[in-house]
A and B are shown apart, each in its own frame.
Chain A
């Protein structure tokens, strides 16, 4: 095997452009699906907090589906399956406007919402029982006690789990390659097949993934240190 030659990969402007584009798409998918997932998770939490039994069952079923079906299969079902259920005009629009990326974001976001809502739910359960009583005794309404006392603590409790799932979401962006999205892993394969510099290309992609993952983990650790709620009696 010829010696390690990073310049052959990074020095080549065409390859460099491809890799940069791949990173951009990976980050775009990550950020969009995170936002979708978090917003939806908050909606699911609100549904869960209403006294309706149907709401509780619906959210439980939603979470169960997304936890038990592999993420790759969810992606395939959305892109290969559900997309065909749309009217033809919509399908044409999708294929003209990066349909693969859109469906990847939808699938990943919906899946992530399930995990985030479970994290928030455990965070909520971790809030001491006397807290809501103390808030009500001071005259806060239900909404007020949630807003100023319960939810701030629930979110702080949930931060470690939320960070973990955020890192997984970032890694799951690579799954989009299976439905043809030109994210970083897909690009790595492409550059590898054109340059034959498998080791170097994979190394570049690996380092890029690692840097972001470790960065996310470090931010998460800093956040949970800052907001650590030592158990008050």
Chain B
């Protein structure tokens, strides 16, 4: 579903992504973890081309998303087929919750208003916020806003979802409600790439965990192997630092 082929990216002289070759299969849940500055956010942002790459190929659902020959229309269409959830939610403050979710199917896909609103209502129920349809983002807690953001991405019916540290900006007591929604998505077979520090989530939901450091994927393993018998010394050090507190 998502394939990286020798993907490289530099910020000036800094080699942010170093020859990444990896694949996320359909229906697979991959968690990216690693120390800060390792390139995990950068990597996930290249998937819908919020970041450019210098060389290599990135194919999402059969579409070469970084090809120079892509027209703007093709790129926008591809983006609409990849759900992205931001660390800072980025809900549209001038629209109500329902409008936040319904607006993009209407304006990007040309979905009729009644249908878009019906879908939005259904998705709000799914994330447990049906009673907040008329509220505005500023009136919601962080956890609620992030759940709306997930519903907003789902409204575009993407075959794959990307999560960039979705719970890092939340107060601890709200992390659970967002992870529960993400777990529900995984159980339904959604292809997911998730950058997170929530190791409990990784252990229980991920099919594979990619550990990144300094722009490389140092280790990629199933949770049992990753936590139980990490091969790379850097991974071992990372995990022991995590356990230390």
Contact = CB atoms under 8 A, between A and B. Distances in A.
A144 B108 contact: yes
A115 to B, nearest CB: 24
Interface in B69-106: 72-73, 76-82, 84, 86, 88-94, 103-104
A141 B72 contact: yes
Given A128-B90, A232-B137, A233-B142, A139 B80 contact: yes
Given A128-B90, A229-B93, A233-B142, A137 B107 contact: no
Contacts, number: 79
Interface centre among A139, A141, A144, A227, by most chain B C-beta atoms within 10 angstroms, is A139
Contact of B153 (A128, A130, A138, A232): A138
Interface residues of A, number: 25
Nearest to A144: B107
Contacts of B181: none
- Chain A at the B interface: mostly helix, strand, loop or mixed? helix
A133 B91 CA distance: 11
A66 B150 CA distance: 47
B147 interface: no
A131 B90 contact: yes
A220 B8 CA distance: 52
Contact of A232 (B48, B72, B84, B91): B91
21 contacts: A130-B90, A136-B50, A137-B50, A137-B84, A137-B153, A138-B79, A138-B84, A138-B104, A138-B152, A138-B153, A138-B156, A139-B76, A140-B108, A141-B76, A148-B107, A153-B94, A227-B94, A229-B94, A230-B93, A232-B138, A233-B145
